[in-house]
Amino acid sequence: MAAEITVAYNNIPGVPSFTADWGLSFLVRDEDDVILFDTGGDPAILRKNLQRLGIKPGEIDLVVLSHYHRDHYGGLEVVLRPGLTVFLPQSFPSWFKDSLKTRGVRVIEVKDPRRIRERVWTTGEISGIIPEQSLILSTSRGLVILTGCSHPGVAKICRRAREIMRKNIYLVAGGFHLSGASRKEIQEIIEELKTLGVRKIAPNHCTGLNATRMFHEAWGKNFIQLGVGESVSFQSIETE
C-alpha cells in the first residue's frame, strides 16, 4: 500500500503554480482515505491549491485541526458539508464546535491519543502555552509525524508519539515555532530530536529561517524541503 503527504497550504514557496500564504495544511492520501490536517488561513487560497492538486472539497473524508489559530483553521469552510468528520482538541471554544454541529458536521473532541484511521493516529491534545494535537502515520519505515505549530514543543510531541506507538520516528514535518528561539535553544532541540532517533526532518511554516538552516545543517541529505504543492511518498504502510 502507498501513502502520500502533500503540502496544500504553506508560507514556504514550493511548486510555482501554487499560492504561498501564511498558514499550514497537509493533504494526506492513504489508499482510499483523504485527510486534511489543518486548513490554512484563507479559504480562497486553500480552494485554489486543492484544485491544483486535483482534489474536490467533497473528496475530503475527514479534517484534523491541530490548534485554535486561524492560520490553521481559517480555510475550513472550503470543505465543510453535512456528515464531514472534524477531529479537534477539546480546548477549542464551545462556539466553534457548536457552529460546526449546526452545519451537520460530526465533531470529535480529542483529549487522549486515539486511532482515527487504520494507520493514522492523533497524539491527543498535548498541553503547552497553546494546547495542540499532531498527526501520526504508521509506515513501513517508521512513524511520520505532522505538526501544526509545535507550541508544546516539537521534541515533546515526538516523545509522545514514540510512547503511543513504540516505534522509531522516520520523519517529522510541519511548523516547529522556533522563529524567535536562540541558537542555543535550537541546538538543544536538534540534539534531543537526534537522541529520539528522528531520521528525516521537514520543517516549514513557523519554524523560522535560522532554525531551518540549522536543521538543514544537522540532517544534511535527510533534510526535506516541503514547500506548498510539494509531496513526499511512502511505498508501504503497515497494517496494525
Phi, psi of 47 (to 5 degrees): -60, -45
Angle, vertex CA 109, rays to CA 92 and CA 140, nearest 5: 115
Residue 146 bridge partners (DSSP): 135, 173
Report the C-alpha gap between 200 and 234 in whole angstroms: 13
pLDDT digits (tens, 9 = 90+) for 69-99: 999 999 999 999 999 999 999 999 999 999 9
Phi, psi of 227 (to 5 degrees): -95, 180
CB 177 within 8 A of CB 204: no
Cell numbers at residue 215, please?
A: 536543521
Question: What pLDDT sits at residue 134?
Answer: 98
CB 30 within 8 A of CB 234: no
Residue 4 bridge partners (DSSP): 29, 233
pLDDT digits (tens, 9 = 90+) for 136-160: 999 989 999 999 999 999 999 999 9
For helices 209-219 and 183-195, the axis angle rounded to 10 degrees is 40
Report the C-alpha gap between 36 and 45 in whole angstroms: 15
pLDDT digits (tens, 9 = 90+) for 199-232: 999 999 999 999 999 999 999 999 999 999 999 9
Residue 13, amino acid: P
Task: Name 158's Cβ contacts closer than 8 Å, sequence gap at least 6.
Answer: 145, 169, 172, 193, 196, 198
**Strand segments (E) across the chain:** 3-10, 24-30, 33-37, 62-64, 85-89, 106-110, 114-117, 120-122, 135-139, 142-147, 169-175, 200-204, 231-234
Instruction: Please determine, for residue 239, whether its predicted confidence score (pLDDT) is greater than 60.
Output: no
What predicted TM-score, i.e. pTM, was given to this entire model?
0.96
